Amino acid sequence: MNLFSNALQGNVLSSLNLSDNALGEKGVRAFGTLLKSLSSLEELYLMNDAVADALKESASPVEVLEMAGNDITSEAASAIAACVAANQDLNKLNLSENLLRDEGCIQIEKSVEEDHSKLQYIDLSNNYIRRDGAVALAGVVMKKEAFKLLNVDGNIISEEGVEEVKEMFKKKQSCLGVWMRMILMEKKEMKRMMSWSQS
């Protein structure tokens, strides 16, 4: 990683994919040094959540941050949340297939609550999120005019939670993930069939 980091110093790089690499402690330190020199980096795909601290102090206006499938727990979410909060140019955040649960989801929600006017996509699918996390996150993103997609599919959201999210997104159902949209469509179809059978 040191050799790679030295080679890239001063280069104009807009996208960096390290998603299949185990950086190790020395690698994370070298990566932190590298990030400070990459002022044009826009997309970052990572395998190691330890680099989130380095990314906070980066000069890069990161627009895409993808850390899917990293086993990131709610305990590690504070570093990710601080990194997200520091990147106001963020357009897409993918933390799918981790272990954030409600506690981690709420930390991420708080990190995007203020500003982040460019944020359009959040994927927190398959994170063991329940009602509290899903409702909190939905409430924040619905206030962002440019927002396009919230994916919380594959979580363990209660029926009550689904209903609350549905109510928040009633005018923007296309902004929900496929599974949530299917639930809403099924409920609409059931209501239509019931009203037809009663007429």
DSSP 106-166: HHHHHHHHSS-TT--EEE--SS---HHHHHHHHHHHTT-TT--EEE-TTS---HHHHHHHH
The pTM assigned to this predicted structure is 0.74
Q: How far is CA 168 from the centre of its chain?
A: 19
Q: At 109, is the pLDDT very low, low, confident or very high (cuts 50, 70, 90)?
A: very high
pLDDT of residue 71: 85
Tell me how far apart the alpha carbons of residues 16 and 19 are, in angstroms, rounded to a whole number.
9
Dihedral pair phi/psi, residue 77, rounded to 5°: -65, -25
CB of 86 closer than 8 Å to CB of 116: no
42: domain CATH number is: 3.80.10.10
Query: Residue 56 belongs to what H/E stretch?
Result: helix 52-56
CB of 47 closer than 8 Å to CB of 18: yes
CB of 102 closer than 8 Å to CB of 129: yes
Q: Which of 57-71, 77-91, 170-184 has the highest mean pLDDT?
A: 77-91
Instruction: Say what percent of the chain tops pLDDT 90.
Output: 33
Tokens encoding 54: 């380095």
Tokens 């927190």 correspond to 124
Q: Which residues contact 167 (CB under 8 A, 6 or more apart)?
A: none
Report helix, strand or coil for 46. Answer: strand
The number of folded domains in the chain is 1
Look at residue 193 and tell me whether its pLDDT is greater than 90: no
pLDDT tens digits along 7-57: 455 555 667 676 655 555 666 566 666 666 666 667 767 655 556 666 666
Q: Which residue has the higher pLDDT, 166 or 107?
A: 107
Tell me how far apart the alpha carbons of residues 142 and 176 are, in angstroms, rounded to a whole number.
11
pLDDT of residue 182: 59
pLDDT of residue 35: 65
Q: What is the mean pLDDT of the chain?
A: 78
Q: Which of 42-51, 76-85, 190-199 has the highest mean pLDDT?
A: 76-85
Instruction: Identify the domain containing residue 68 by its residue range.
Output: 2-198
**Per-residue burial over 157-169, b = 16 or more CB atoms within 10 Å of its CB, e = otherwise:** beeebbbbbbebb
Look at residue 178 and tell me whether its pLDDT is greater than 70: no
Tell me how far apart the alpha carbons of residues 92 and 155 are, in angstroms, rounded to a whole number.
20
pLDDT of residue 98: 93
